[in-house]
Amino acid sequence: MENNEKKSINKMRALVYHGPEKIMLEEKPKPVIIKPTDAIVKITTTSICGTDLHILNGDVPAVTDGRILGHEGVGIIDEIGINVLGFKKGDKVLISLITSCGSCSFCKKAMYSHCINGGWLLGNTIDGTQAEYVRIPFADNGLYLLPPNVDEESSVMLSCNLPTGMECGTLSGKVKPGDIVALVGAGPVGLSALLTAKLYSPSKIIMIDLDDNRLEVAHSFGATDLVNSSDGKAAEKVMAITKKAGVDVAIEAVGISATFDLCQKIIAAGGHIANVGVHGKPVELHLEKLWASNVTITTRLVDAGTTSMLLKMIQSKELDAKKLISHHFKLSEIISAYNTFKNAAKEHAIKLVIKV
């Protein structure tokens, strides 16, 4: 009996990737401390990111058969390595998708996503958060202590979506007061970019998507103009809204050729195209039209440098992250959760919360 109990204690449930379109909820070994800077976190809340769907489509070849997916989560510290200084067992923490050592050349430039010893590891090159437990390398840098007045569901939006929208969209696009901003893609990251772009007082925020439900959600979040692109005339509609001037900032939050192309068609001279989407296939760059337009195009992986700031804004009620959430599931229902997220238009899904 004791041996059976010990075996069960050392096992956990986890969502495991087995190649494109193949995922299973399985029993896996509970993670253990490998390095003295590690922490083991007992997951209480996790979520599914659009990047997880790109993984399922086979767009992220670094993710191999047997990997536990997920890079978003909140939980309780179960165990810490001897060199972890900022946390103790029992602390409730937010998990960042980015792992950073803090000492390599990229970390010293605040490019934590390109950390030589880290970067985007969770659910990519090491096991992730869609499980009962997860190992967090460099825990002092990758975890944030949660204030008691911030709930878990709001907090999990800070693992990835809100910092990505802020850094890769709003900040890379250099949104400033009075700008006309176009957001292409009203998924969780596009809506996060909308919420953070509003902080900089643009004169217009144009949301472009195929899904009328998501467009209505964007309107409720503060979008001033809505464009359904299903008729292939999105560029013409945007140019009509801007009286042929184009937009100052175009934020691409889908990750396909058509949406990046749309950004190139609607950007004004001197404007910024901020790519946020995960592209699995090549896109065309129309330099024959843009070469003299003083346009800046940025690409970026989130560094999570804004996480602490955004957490303070949620704590002070200046940012309502909870309204991104549309569905709730249990870990035992995670396959159904993926199916719901894959059929977001039909299911009216935005962001899914999974309770472990």
> What's the CA gap between 67 and 353, in Å, rounded?
21
Q: Is the pLDDT of residue 4 over 70?
A: no
For residues 36 and 154, membership in a common domain is answered with: yes
For residues 351 and 288, membership in a common domain is answered with: no
For residues 15 and 149, membership in a common domain is answered with: yes
DSSP category for residue 321: G
> What's the CA gap between 197 and 212, in Å, rounded?
21
Give me the percent of the chain exceeding a pLDDT of 70: 98
- Helix 234-241 crosses helix 257-266 at what angle (to 10 degrees)? 30
> What's the CA gap between 347 and 182, in Å, rounded?
25
Catalogue the long-range contacts made by 213-220 (C-beta closer than 8 Å, 24 or more residues apart): 213/345, 213/348, 214/186, 214/187, 214/344, 214/345, 214/350, 215/186, 217/186, 217/191, 217/350, 218/183, 218/186, 218/190, 218/191, 218/194, 220/323
For residues 167 and 143, membership in a common domain is answered with: no
pLDDT of 1: 43
For residues 153 and 8, membership in a common domain is answered with: yes
pLDDT of 278: 87
Instruction: Give per-residue pLDDT as tens, 228-260.
Output: 999 999 999 999 999 999 999 999 999 999 999
For residues 217 and 259, membership in a common domain is answered with: yes
For residues 7 and 152, membership in a common domain is answered with: yes
Residue 346's CATH number? 3.90.180.10
For residues 80 and 187, membership in a common domain is answered with: no
CB 87 within 8 A of CB 150: no
For residues 147 and 170, membership in a common domain is answered with: no
CB 350 within 8 A of CB 322: no
Residue 203's CATH number? 3.40.50.720
For residues 92 and 10, membership in a common domain is answered with: yes
pLDDT of 296: 98
For residues 273 and 314, membership in a common domain is answered with: no
Domains in the chain, number: 2
Categorize the per-residue pLDDT at 9 as very low, low, confident or very high, splitting at 50, 70 and 90. confident
Question: How many Cα atoms sit within 13 Å of 78 on the Cβ side?
Answer: 18
Domain ranges, residue 216: 163-299
Instruction: Give per-residue pLDDT as tens, 82-130.
Output: 999 999 999 999 999 999 999 999 999 999 999 999 999 999 999 999 9
pLDDT average, residue stretch 18-23 = 96
Higher pLDDT, 193 or 280: 193
- Helix 188-197 crosses helix 212-221 at what angle (to 10 degrees)? 20
For residues 138 and 110, membership in a common domain is answered with: yes
Instruction: Give per-residue pLDDT as tens, 212-227.
Output: 999 999 999 999 999 9
